[in-house]
Amino acid sequence: MLLHIHTLRISVYHPQTDGLVERFNRTLKAMIRKVVSLDGKNWDTLLPYLMFAIREVPQASTGFSPFELLYRCHPRGILDIAKEIWEEEPNEGRNIIDHVLQMRERRAWVTPIVREHLEKAQEAQRTHYNRQAKVRQFQPGDRVMVLIPTAESKLLAQWQGPYEVVEPMGEVTYKVQQPGHWKKEQTYHINLLKPWHQQEACIVAQETSIQGNNMQEEIRISTDLTPNQKKEVTEMINQYQDVFSIKPGRTTEAYHHIITDPGAKVTLRPYWVPVAKREEIKAEVKRMLELGVIKESHNQRSSPLVLVPKPDGTTKFCNDFHRLNEISKFDAYPIPRIDELVDRLGNARFLTTLDLTK
């Protein structure tokens, strides 16, 4: 209170709100990287010296060093000591009263200068930031996408949603309702929000289901679609009923050959399978034999079976072919350029996902 320091509350995942701290962390990390040893284990012993180096250097925004603003006197660093020794100028001591009086006088002289420098620096930063800034506003009930870190890593963020705006908390912050999260409502900065449009919804999703004419399986359609969009999806499903099927198709247009060196073979023992899954494996093998997807083999090669759980609760029936891949010869296919793929998807209105049977 004596120094007129006030608490500032910031929104989550928006470090720009606390730019001074984030900029200081960036500077300190860069200095540590310059002086740390090769093994990188002595960085903590260097912190006192690095912090003093930061505190004795004048800042561009205030024109004074942090040490001078706090203690109202110039820091006596290594260069000052070397100068005194070189010029043989003794450091004259002062009593406590003289020191306090000098601090008061220096504070009265420095404070208006610092405020003027800060106002100029803030205005320059505001002008630079507002060049590309756009004014956006959301109303309660609007549906938005939120840019937040993923569950796998806080360093990897992606757009999630849609979520609903509850109310504005300030000029640039909004409270957003997030069903399914441990915290039902969270406050976000407007830079982490963008409007959600209907064309971003998936056409086929696990929401509601409809039954087409002579269809062998229920097709589920998202409830986020408009009535006209649902009608278009229904007509498309009825028109291409042969595509939506639980039975896999078969083609004779292409064949795949696995090429290995002569005499090379893989024979691996099967993995341990829980007793509860063994009946499921038998049923799946029988089903695929009846569909003609697989057939019995009596050669000297084998790869173990792997059961992979799927997000919808079912199990994916797979084989572990990593040893076979190690001895296989592959054709060299060029990897597509990411920038070309982004250009091709730039004007897309719908993104669809195909789930191939078997």
The pLDDT value given to residue 116: 81
Q: Give dist(CA 106, CA 110) in Å, integer.
A: 6
Answer whether residue 85 shows pLDDT above 80: no
pLDDT per residue over 162-171, tens digit each? 889 999 888 8
Q: What is the average per-residue pLDDT within 81-101?
A: 65
On average, the pLDDT of the chain sits at: 77
Six-digit token pair at 150? 């993923």
pLDDT band at 90 (very low <50, low <70, confident <90, very high): low
End-to-end CA distance of the chain: 69
Six-digit token pair at 103? 């601090």
pLDDT per residue over 170-183, tens digit each? 888 899 988 877 78
Q: Give dist(CA 146, CA 44) in Å, integer.
A: 37
Q: What is the average per-residue pLDDT within 127-150?
A: 81
Lowest mean pLDDT among 71-75, 146-150, 315-319: 71-75
The pLDDT value given to residue 84: 67
Six-digit token pair at 348? 């897309």
What's the half-sphere exposure (Cβ side, CA atoms, 13 Å) at 329?
A: 6
The larger pLDDT score, comparing residue 41 to residue 213, is at 41
The larger pLDDT score, comparing residue 185 to residue 358, is at 185
Lowest mean pLDDT among 28-42, 80-94, 252-266, 267-281: 80-94
Q: Give dist(CA 55, CA 117) in Å, integer.
A: 18
pLDDT per residue over 328-348, tens digit each? 988 888 888 888 888 888 777
The pLDDT value given to residue 189: 86
**Would you list the domain boundaries of the chain?**
15-129, 143-196, 275-327
Residues 217 and 246: beta-carbon distance below 8 Å: yes
Answer whether residue 4 shows pLDDT above 60: yes
**What percent of the chain has a predicted confidence (pLDDT) above 70?**
79
Nearest CA-CA partner of 52 in 84, 33, 17, 28: 28
The larger pLDDT score, comparing residue 90 to residue 226, is at 226
pLDDT band at 292 (very low <50, low <70, confident <90, very high): confident
Diameter over CA atoms, the chain: 102
Q: Give dist(CA 231, CA 225) in Å, integer.
A: 10
Answer whether residue 264 shows pLDDT above 80: yes
For residue 188, give the amino acid letter: Y
pLDDT band at 38 (very low <50, low <70, confident <90, very high): low
Nearest CA-CA partner of 196 in 224, 167, 174: 224
Residues 324 and 302: beta-carbon distance below 8 Å: no
Six-digit token pair at 252? 């004779």
Six-digit token pair at 12? 């989550």
H-helix or E-strand spanning residue 300: none
The pLDDT value given to residue 217: 47
pLDDT per residue over 211-262, tens digit each? 444 443 466 777 777 788 888 888 888 888 777 776 777 777 888 888 888 8
Contacts of 243 (CB under 8 A, 6+ apart): none
Nearest CA-CA partner of 14 in 184, 196, 147: 147
Residue 55, Cβ neighbours under 10 Å: how many?
16
- State the DSSP code for 62: T
Six-digit token pair at 262? 């002569």
Tell me the torsion sign for CA atoms 320, 326, 332, 334: positive
